Amino acid sequence: MVSKQTLTLLKYAMWVLTGLILILAISSWYQNQSTEQLAGRALNAQERGETPRQFFEAQRVAQGFTALASTHVIFTTPSGKRITRMILFGGPDYDKERYWGYCFTGREEQNKAEGKRGKQLYDGKFFFSKGEVEAQKKRPPSNTDLIGIMRSDDLVQQQKDNLPDSDFDIFKGDETCYLMSNINLPVGLDDDGDTLNNQLERTIGSNPQSEDSDGDTISDAVEVFLMKTSPLSVDSDLDGLRDNIEDVNQNGSIELKDTNPNNPDSDHDGLCDGDGYGGRCPEGVTSPVRGEDLNQNGIVDEGETDPRKADTDANGVDDRDQRWHELQTQPLGNRPYTGNDHYPL
């Protein structure tokens, strides 16, 4: 059921939108359609050039929902729940995209009746993604009131300076807001506190009630936002080495002590980083040549080669070629080399 208060706010929303829509630059879908393609059948609202609408009550916001691109979205934030804009709208990757919105005070109609304009008329909270702020900074100057609001708003300067803003970048609950985005946006609360909101977790398939869904000691957020590894697999590149052994300090960059958790052969020598039995190892599972870190502990032990160096002993021959050569000239496990063993150079 839609509450009376929400209906009142929706009424404000509808006429505020008629003004706000002037500054939207995201109707490319419709503009790109050829009229011939649309002939001979009934046109839906989007094809007629009307922007579709979505409404979400607080309960749906708590669970999470997808705000569709180029759609007027009205939502109410759940009572007593504080959440940052960044988390509510899907995190840093989505912040690079273009979305913006406005949270109503309920005073807009009265303000308009009193002849107020600009920031005095729209005295609620505007919010913008970093991508939208960048796009707005590139817009040519305009005398339009609404653009004036956005341009003169302190938020633009603060986001320019990368400063957090408690008023504008935190949603405090019981706020009814308008949202417009140029992409489908996962919106929701963050039940497990890992900074991936519930809807983003649902989309990815991670557990919204666990901050480390795959139990590899790396949080879902670090895997998704920083390391770009799978929050659903302890060994994202299937090379036999766990993600937390590959990127030791879990910072998403491959340093001297690290192997690449997203590449099964970090040093490009043809040998797998781990034991060589992983699904993405270059040598087949039937090959007598295995990988580099055979006991998968992140340390170069006796009898192993270094998965960070293509030529571990610096003798001028890469590890894989050297390993094959050694197998030709010495007993192979519990049987001698027969000459039938392939030596693929």
Name the residues that contact Ca ion, by CB under 5 A: 190, 192, 194, 196, 212, 214, 216, 218, 235, 237, 239, 241, 265, 267, 269, 271, 307
Non-local CB neighbours of 258 within 8 Å, separated by 6+ positions: 246, 247, 248, 249, 308
What distance in Å separates the CA atoms of residue 79 and residue 174, rounded to the nearest whole number? 5
Tell the smallest beta-carbon distance from residue 237 to Ca ion (Å): 4
Tell the smallest beta-carbon distance from residue 290 to Ca ion (Å): 11
Other C-beta atoms lying within 10 Å of the C-beta of residue 194: 23
Tell the smallest beta-carbon distance from residue 166 to Ca ion (Å): 22
User: In this complex, which beta carbon is closest to Ca ion, that of residue 164 or of residue 279?
Assistant: 279
User: In this complex, which beta carbon is closest to Ca ion, that of residue 167 or of residue 326?
Assistant: 326
User: In this complex, which beta carbon is closest to Ca ion, that of residue 126 or of residue 324?
Assistant: 324
Tell the smallest beta-carbon distance from residue 179 to Ca ion (Å): 20
User: In this complex, which beta carbon is closest to Ca ion, that of residue 70 or of residue 230?
Assistant: 230
Tell the smallest beta-carbon distance from residue 14 to Ca ion (Å): 33
Helix/strand/coil for 214: coil
Residue type at position 345: L
Tell the smallest beta-carbon distance from residue 278 to Ca ion (Å): 7
The secondary structure element, H or E, covering residue 342 is: none
Tell the smallest beta-carbon distance from residue 260 to Ca ion (Å): 8
User: In this complex, which beta carbon is closest to Ca ion, that of residue 160 or of residue 257?
Assistant: 257
User: In this complex, which beta carbon is closest to Ca ion, that of residue 155 or of residue 271?
Assistant: 271
